[in-house]
Amino acid sequence: MNFGPIFLFLIAAGGVVFVALFLNRMLAPRKPNPEKLSTYECGEEAVGSPWIRFNTRFYVIALIFLVFDVEVLFLFPWAVNLKSLGMFAWIEMAVFIIILSVGLAYVWAKRDLEWIKPDSDEIQAALRQSSQTITDK
């Protein structure tokens, strides 16, 4: 097997990223103001520093999200080739989705889908303090 082209492709892919960033740096006008330098949060105004303790719920939610994210990854090629794969593949995918649904049912029944707000005193204090420093600036 010849892996030369793949290696070249990797180098080229990396190169494109650097060239794009470099050109952007060279060509773009730079006129910073405080509004531009603030963190962009999809239009929401940033309320504080992200360097606080996160609720571990995020981890569980992210994990569940990941499972269904990967599921889609399997579903796309399956959906494209379904006609040539036939009935067996359809049943296989149905089984796969049932297994995942059982997982979701498990998480649901164990109350891991219920969100607990980060309302501990410590986090509230951290939030207050960080918003204070922003208004001070």
Partner 1 sequence: MNITYNLPAIGTQLVLGAGVILVLLADLLTGKKNRDVAYQTTLTVLVLAGIICVMKWGSAGAGFGGQVFGDGFASFFNLAFLAIAFLVVFNSPNYLKRNEIDHGEYYMLILIAVLGMTFMSSAGDLLIFFLGLETMSISLYVLAGFHKSRARSNESSLKYLLLGAFFTGFLLYGIALIYGQVGSTNLADITSYLAGSANPLGGYMGVGLALLLVGLLFKMAVVPFHFWSPDVYDGAPTPVTAFMSAAPKAAAFAAALRIFYDPAISLGLPWDKTLWIAAALTITLGNFAALAQSSIKRMLAYSSITHAGYLMIGLAAGNELGASGMLYYLFTYGFMNVGAFTIAWLVNRRGEGNYLLSDFAQLGSRNPVMALLMSIFMLSLTGIPPLAGFFGKLYVFSAGVKAGLIWLVVIAVLNSVVSVFYYLRVMVIMYMREEEGLKDLEKAPTVAITAILCGLVILLLGLFPGPLLDLARESVLSLL
Residue 23 or 91: which CB sits closer to partner 1? 91
Q: Which among 59, 77, 53, 43 has a CA at the least distance from the CA of 127?
A: 53
Q: Is 12 in the site for partner 1 (CB under 8 A)?
A: no
CA distance 8 to 84: 34
33 forms part of the interface with partner 1 (CB under 8 A): no
- Residue of 107, 108, 127, 111 whose CA lies nearest to 54: 127
83 binds partner 1 (CB under 8 A): no
Cβ proximity to partner 1: between 19 and 66 the closer is 66
Cα–Cα distance for residue pair 4/39, rounded to 1 Å: 42
Q: Does 111 bind partner 1 (CB under 8 A)?
A: no
Q: Which is nearer to partner 1, 47 or 99 (CB)?
A: 99
CB of 26 to partner 1, least distance (A): 39
Which of 37-45, 66-74, 97-105, 125-133 is the region at the interface with partner 1 (rule: CB under 8 A)?
97-105
Task: Count the site residues for partner 1 by CB under 8 A.
Answer: 11
Interface with partner 1 (CB under 8 A), residue from 23, 102, 104, 134? 102
Footprint of partner 1 (CB under 8 A) = 1, 3, 84-85, 88, 98-99, 102, 105-106, 109
